[in-house]
């Protein structure tokens, strides 16, 4: 017999995995079919090897590494600095826009059904959204209790992530429009964490340093 509650426990983790995981490719050896040809003539391969031997690979790789270290999104999320403290709760429920069959075939969630993932799963992590180009926001994080909490991860609206990673000694990621819109983040620094069946967003006003 189809159980709605049981079905939710099955489908919610699946939906979450589909939303946050990347697609992994798999390669298989299928063997040879038909005539097999050499990739290139020996003289051509020798010429390629000679050209490759003349490349300063250390310089080339250093340049590529520097480009990666300085990478920023082409369309970064722009959020103002918080001018006053604010706190609000956000409902992360969503409405299915199509029928979704359960993996075990025991039923279907109909189009229009409302699902709140927090009814079935917990979100133990805390997300901190900051502007990495604002030194005061970096310093605020380093002096806060969040700095020592391994369950906290950082989302940048802007900044040089490689330098920030070295400074705070943990991975950092760039926030995107989907995250900002979903959690209704309006200014930074902002703290996002679960509060019951909703997500709590706290925007923090930093003390303005006087010259």
Q: Would the pLDDT of 138 be above 50?
A: yes
Q: Would the pLDDT of 148 be above 70?
A: yes
**Contact predicate 157/175, CB 8 Å:** yes
- Place 133 in a pLDDT band, splitting at 50, 70 and 90: very high
pLDDT in tens, 56-66: 655 555 454 44
Q: Would the pLDDT of 160 be above 60?
A: yes
pLDDT in tens, 93-119: 888 888 888 777 788 888 888 888 888
Residue 173 is classified by DSSP as E
Q: Would the pLDDT of 8 be above 70?
A: no
Q: Would the pLDDT of 165 be above 80?
A: yes
Q: Would the pLDDT of 44 be above 60?
A: no
Q: Is 194 exposed, middle or buried (0-12, 13-18, 19+ CB in 10 A)?
A: middle
User: What is the reported pTM?
Assistant: 0.66
Across 1-15, 36-50, 82-96, 118-132, least confident range? 1-15
pLDDT in tens, 168-186: 999 888 888 888 888 999 9
Q: Is 165 exposed, middle or buried (0-12, 13-18, 19+ CB in 10 A)?
A: middle
- Place 47 in a pLDDT band, splitting at 50, 70 and 90: low
Count CA atoms within 13 Å of residue 164 on its CB side: 29
Chain mean pLDDT for the chain: 74
Tokens of 18: 């589909």
């Amino acid at each position: 017999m189809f159980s709605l509650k049981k079905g939710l426990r099955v489908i919610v983790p699946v939906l979450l995995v589909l939303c946050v995981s990347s697609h992994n490719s798999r390669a298989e050896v299928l063997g040879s079919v038909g005539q097999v040809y050499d990739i290139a003539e020996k003289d051509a391969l020798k010429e390629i090897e000679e050209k490759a031997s003349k490349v300063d690979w250390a310089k080339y790789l250093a340049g590529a590494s520097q480009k990666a270290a300085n990478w920023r999104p082409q369309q970064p999320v722009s959020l103002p600095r918080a001018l006053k403290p604010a706190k609000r709760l956000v409902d992360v429920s969503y409405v299915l826009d199509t029928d979704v069959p359960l993996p075990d075939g025991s039923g279907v969630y109909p189009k229009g059904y409302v699902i709140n993932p927090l009814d079935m799963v917990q979100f133990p992590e805390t997300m901190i959204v900051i502007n990495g180009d604002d030194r005061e926001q970096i310093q605020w994080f380093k002096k806060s209790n969040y700095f020592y909490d391994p369950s906290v991860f950082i989302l940048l609206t802007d900044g040089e992530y490689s330098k920030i990673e070295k400074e705070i000694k943990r991975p950092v990621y760039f926030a995107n429009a989907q995250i900002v819109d979903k959690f209704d983040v309006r200014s930074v620094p902002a703290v996002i964490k679960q509060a019951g069946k909703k997500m709590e967003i706290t925007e923090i006003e930093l003390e303005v340093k006087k010259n």
